[in-house]
Structure 1
């Protein structure tokens, strides 16, 4: 993912692509190109969400493993 990548901007890009395809604004070749672009962006989002979930799980595990003070 690019250094300035954001989840929100990527989701917005996917929504724009979907809207263009649904409205029939693209030539057939462009539909396939944009569809491939949307799939790649979805993969980026999935990777991001998976990493975030792993971090949350680790934090929860750390909290649960800490001994309680007396």
Structure 2
């Protein structure tokens, strides 16, 4: 499996789109719309998307912390 671009490296990446994708996967799994093999594949996709979202949020939290620190220093 090829490694996907991280959230910070892809201009077309969208946190909201990833969350919607994850929600769609969960809905399909819960509805029983997928064959068992597809469930595992979609679950793996959802986990990778969650990791990307987590990385995105961590990066943004670091930026906010830096801005707060900069404001506190002034």
Do these two structures clear the TM 0.5 threshold for a shared fold by scoring above it? yes
Mapped to 1, the partners of 2:42 and 2:54 lie a distance apart of 18
| Gap regions ≥5 residues in structure 2 | 1-5
TM-score by length of 1: 0.92
Say which of 20, 30, 36 aligns to 1:28.
36
TM-score by length of 2: 0.87
SS at match of 1:35: helix
| Gap regions ≥5 residues in structure 1 | none
Q: How many residues align?
A: 66
- Over aligned residues, Cα RMSD in angstroms? 0.7
Say which of 1, 9, 12 aligns to 1:4.
12
Q: Which runs of 4+ in 1 moved over 6 A?
A: none
Partner of 1:56: 64
**Rg bigger for which structure?**
1
